[in-house]
């Protein structure tokens, strides 16, 4: 069994290395509870309403492709090797993110 204790992903142009607090920790809980990024909202908490939508960037066919994901049902471990772009990160220093 492949037990990954550390994961790495990109956020705000920097690599984030962390150990998820549990195997079932969601990206929504990570953002709101650990990072205090409150822009991503909790609505239904079961993947239906979209209040928690984040963009996930992945390399596909040599290109970086962003896709929406529901942070309430996305596990932190699934971020490994991806870029995480929550609503809080869409503008930095007055410059909009390409998403």
Nearer to ligand FES, 34 or 48 (CB): 48
Nearer to ligand FES, 39 or 43 (CB): 43
Closest CB 29 distance from ligand FES, rounded Å = 11
What is the rounded CA–CA span in Å between residue 68 and residue 40?
13
Q: Which of residues 22-61 bind ligand FES (CB under 6 A)?
A: 42-45, 47-52
- 3 state DSSP class of 81: coil
Tokens 């705000």 sit at which residue? 12
At 35, list the tokens.
């990072």
Which residues are at the interface with ligand FES (CB under 6 A)? Answer: 42-45, 47-52, 70, 72
């Amino acid at each position: 069994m492949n037990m990954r204790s550390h994961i790495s992903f990109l956020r705000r142009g920097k690599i984030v290395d962390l150990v998820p607090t549990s195997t079932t920790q969601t990206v929504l809980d990570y953002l709101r509870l650990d990072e205090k990024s409150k822009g991503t909202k909790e609505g239904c908490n079961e993947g239906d309403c979209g209040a928690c939508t984040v963009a996930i960037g992945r390399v596909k066919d040599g290109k970086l492709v962003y896709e929406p994901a529901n942070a309430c049902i996305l596990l932190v471990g699934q971020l490994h090797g991806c870029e995480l772009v929550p609503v809080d990160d869409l503008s930095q220093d007055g410059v909009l993110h390409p998403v």
